[in-house]
């Protein structure tokens, strides 16, 4: 397809698609097709003008040719290109809101300008009926709440023949409801998109063995192999094996569900235990988006404690508004002064600005590669005083490197590495990936010689080759649990291993055969990040790891940690977190592995690393990218800024609206002016809440 270059600068280029009309679906296809290019950093598509603004990762000169070439072969009907578009992009939702908003505004202006007063009054009375009925229904079922106050204000204005005030109140209420509805839908859409699957490769069972394949190449009827902690990449039916699946994100079930032959599984759910072969029933791009939304649709999960407090206070103040109105009338016999209480309420502004503030903070978090499942977790981060770090992949780099293979009893290094890679490739983890990459770097092929691989959480894996049992994992697992014997005359080799290296032990036939030395250096910015977190009010920062004491001590020596614990099991981490909470501390747990999941669940806030185990991301409340720990500092500041904004909104709304009531009772402001100022302040508070949280609002 041809395109027209309209303008270009050092990093941006504007092009126009030469077509008469661009549909919303076509705009999405163009956007996600171009986003998929390595040279492109960001894309904005304007369907009304058919313009596309492209921001390049480097310079226009380096990226322009690639974009032009990509567009030359572009076709809206290409199924591979369509598959790049998520099930829900938010474009249609935003357009629907825009059209509704403009329609309401135009209708309001048309009524005010062109309709004669008699017709305007009749329209006002008709429009008031739903509000009055809603108020009566609320009074009968729930007592005095904001809906009753709104209905009373509208009714009183109509009785007094003040139709302009009644119309203004209804118009602004309608706009407020539209904004609240859009905010809620956008929150759900953005959160659901942040939970989109990040699965590129899958294992396919073939007659010749298991083969790794790009997920985009998987076809209906293919057999996908899933194992412990794997995220199930595609919808399908189990044809072999048995496993327990955490599918709370899809169905809301709190307990893992057992799946065996004939059981249906959903993309995005996570294998907690077992192994199965799944026959694909829906290929990539055809998952269960609507079911993802179910989990995050529970409004309480999206609300922070500050939001809930504001909502509750707004409703509790309604009876006082009625009482104030009645008392004012009895004392002054002035209807206008009495109505000042009814024209102003605290609910609209609170219920509009609070969710918008949360949405804005969550949007900023996503811009920093942080996905948050609800506002209450940001509040918990703002209030936290304790952080517990896992070591591998968090305080250390997410991409450790294999340095050496120490062998025993004359075993060949390459052969030991080949076997280790053959087992470890089935269970993606940063250390396992290092072993697999180490074998690849040496061009060591590792055919599937072993039998079924069994994964033992926080310990390692076991299998057999030619009826000989093989185990690989921690010292505790291989030497203590499995009883593999260390050759006495070669025990000195263990003492000579650099203490900074993580050690993966491998035993065959009950004998220690190799130790794989993994360099997992501390992140360059880890010490700085910990110092910053201390300055931001975190009084206790701990590290807990299953690694040996020598390695843990070497890492801790480089960091300003308050405490560190080595050779701990998953239950030890969870117990420590629970004890801290029982002691009255607010705890954040940060981890990336299957062994971190109990502690992630136990903490006030669980933070998972994006490149970590799928089940850790499933259980965690927040997910951060693995390439920059500074995001933790940013997120702490952002969470504190959100709480400051909510409290400032709270103070502004109470102060401003109370002042309006006072001016109305004093006779300075007529009811119509109070209504306009009240609703205007509501919109201002909402628009302010939608802006980015600035540095001066943070800690």
DSSP letters spanning 324-371: HHHHHHHHH--HHHHHHHHH--SHHHHHHHHHHHHHHHHHHHHHTTEE
- Tell me: the pLDDT tens digits for 92-115? 888 888 888 889 889 988 988 888
| Separation of alpha carbons 669 and 343, rounded Å | 11
Tokens of 426: 């089935």
| Separation of alpha carbons 437 and 516, rounded Å | 13
Contact of 206 with 243, CB cutoff 8 Å: no
Tokens of 634: 């940013």
- Tell me: the pLDDT tens digits for 545-599? 887 788 888 888 888 899 999 888 888 898 999 999 999 999 999 987 777 878 8
What DSSP character marks residue 399? S
- Tell me: the pLDDT tens digits for 282-336? 765 444 444 444 444 443 445 556 666 666 666 677 777 778 888 887 888 777 7
Strand order in the sheet with 454-456: 401-407, 511-519, 501-508, 468-473, 460-465, 454-456
DSSP assignments along 444-489, one per residue: ------S---EEETTTEEEEEETTEEEEEE-HIIIIIIS-PBPPGG
DSSP assignments along 654-696, one per residue: HHHHHHHHHHHHTTSS-HHHHHHHHHHHHHHHHHHHTSPPPGG
* Number of DSSP helices (H) and strands (E) in the chain, helices first: 26, 24
Q: What pTM was computed for the model?
A: 0.65
| Separation of alpha carbons 20 and 298, rounded Å | 42
| pLDDT for residue 530 | 93
89-95, long-range: CB < 8 A, 24+ apart: 89/28, 89/31, 89/32, 89/193, 90/186, 90/189, 90/190, 90/193, 91/24, 91/27, 91/28, 91/47, 92/24, 93/182, 93/185, 93/186, 93/189, 94/186, 95/24
What DSSP character marks residue 230? P
| Separation of alpha carbons 684 and 45, rounded Å | 29
Contact of 433 with 399, CB cutoff 8 Å: yes
What DSSP character marks residue 217? G
| Separation of alpha carbons 191 and 118, rounded Å | 48
Sign of CA pseudo-dihedral 253, 259, 262, 266:
positive
Q: Classify burial at 478, counting beta carbons within 10 Å of its beta carbon; exposed 0-12, middle 13-18, buried 19 or more.
A: buried
Contact of 638 with 377, CB cutoff 8 Å: no
Q: Which residues of the chain fall below pLDDT 50?
A: 197, 252, 285-301, 450
| Residue 513: other Cβ atoms inside 10 A | 24
What DSSP character marks residue 229? T
Contact of 356 with 349, CB cutoff 8 Å: no
């Amino acid at each position: 397809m041809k395109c027209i270059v309209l303008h270009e600068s050092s990093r941006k280029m504007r092009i126009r698609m030469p077509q008469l009309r661009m549909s919303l679906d076509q705009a999405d296809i163009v956007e996600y097709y171009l986003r998929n290019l390595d040279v492109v950093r960001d894309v904005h598509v304007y369907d009304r003008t058919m313009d596309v603004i492209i921001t390049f990762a480097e310079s226009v000169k380096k990226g322009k040719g690639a974009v032009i070439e990509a567009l030359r072969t572009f076709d809206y009907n290409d199924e591979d290109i369509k598959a790049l578009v998520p099930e829900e992009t938010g474009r249609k939702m935003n357009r629907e809101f825009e059209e509704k908003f403009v329609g309401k505004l135009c209708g309001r202006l048309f009524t005010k300008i062109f309709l004669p007063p008699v017709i305007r009054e009749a329209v006002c009375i008709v429009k008031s009926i739903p509000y009055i009925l809603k108020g009566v229904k609320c009074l009968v079922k729930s007592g005095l709440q904001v809906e009753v106050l709104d209905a009373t204000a509208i009714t009183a204005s109509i009785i007094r023949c003040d139709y302009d005030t009644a119309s203004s109140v209804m118009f602004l209420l309608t706009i407020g409801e539209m904004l609240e509805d859009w905010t809620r839908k956008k929150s759900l859409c953005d959160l659901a998109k942040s939970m989109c699957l990040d699965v590129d490769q899958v294992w396919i069972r073939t007659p010749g063995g298991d083969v790794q394949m790009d997920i985009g190449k998987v076809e209906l009827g293919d057999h996908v192999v899933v194992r412990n902690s794997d995220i199930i990449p595609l919808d399908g039916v189990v044809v072999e094996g048995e496993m327990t699946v955490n599918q709370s994100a899809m169905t809301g079930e709190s307990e893992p569900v057992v799946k065996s032959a004939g059981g249906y599984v959903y993309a995005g759910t996570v294998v907690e235990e077992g192994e199965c072969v799944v026959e694909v029933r829906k290929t990539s791009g055809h998952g269960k988006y609507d079911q993802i939304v179910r989990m995050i649709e529970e409004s309480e999960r999206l609300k922070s404690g500050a939001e809930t407090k504001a909502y509750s206070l707004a409703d509790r103040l309604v009876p006082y508004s009625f009482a104030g109105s009645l008392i004012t009338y009895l004392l002054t016999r002035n209807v206008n002064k009495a109505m000042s209480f009814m024209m102003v309420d605290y609910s609209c502004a609170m219920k509009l600005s609070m969710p918008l503030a949360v949405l804005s903070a969550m949007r900023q978090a996503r811009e920093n590669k942080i996905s948050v499942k609800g506002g209450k977790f940001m509040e918990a981060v703002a209030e936290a005083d304790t952080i517990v770090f896992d070591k591998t992949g968090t305080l250390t780099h997410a991409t450790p490197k294999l340095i050496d293979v120490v062998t025993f009893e004359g075993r060949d290094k390459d052969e030991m590495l080949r076997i280790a890679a053959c087992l470890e490739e089935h269970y993606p983890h940063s250390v396992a990936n290092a072993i697999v990459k180490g074998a690849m770097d040496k061009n060591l092929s590792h055919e599937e010689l072993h039998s079924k691989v069994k994964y033992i959480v926080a310990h390692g894996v076991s299998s057999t080759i030619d009826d000989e049992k093989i185990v690989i994992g921690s010292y505790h697992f291989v030497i203590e649990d499995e009883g593999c014997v260390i050759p006495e005359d070669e025990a000195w080799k263990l003492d000579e291993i650099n203490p900074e290296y993580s050690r993966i032990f491998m035993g065959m036939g009950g004998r220690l055969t190799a130790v794989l030395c993994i360099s997992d250096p501390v992140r360059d910015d880890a010490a700085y990040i910990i110092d910053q977190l201390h300055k931001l009010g975190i009084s206790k920062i701990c590290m807990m790891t299953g690694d040996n004491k020598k390695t843990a001590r070497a890492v801790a020596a480089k960091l300003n940690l308050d405490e560190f614990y080595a050779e701990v099991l998953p239950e030890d981490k969870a117990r420590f977190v629970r004890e801290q909470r029982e002691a009255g501390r607010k705890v954040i747990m940060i981890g990336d592995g299957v062994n971190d999941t109990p502690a992630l669940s136990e903490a006030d806030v669980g933070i998972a690393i994006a490149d970590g185990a799928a089940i850790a991301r499933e259980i965690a409340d927040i997910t951060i990218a693995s390439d920059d720990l500074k995001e933790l500092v940013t997120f702490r500041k952002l969470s504190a800024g959100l709480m400051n904004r909510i409290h400032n909104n709270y103070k502004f709304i109470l102060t401003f609206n109370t002042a309006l009531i006072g001016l109305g009772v004093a006779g300075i402001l007529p009811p119509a002016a109070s209504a306009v100022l009240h609703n205007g302040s509501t919109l201002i508070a909402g628009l302010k809440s939608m802006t980015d949280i600035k540095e001066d609002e943070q800690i």
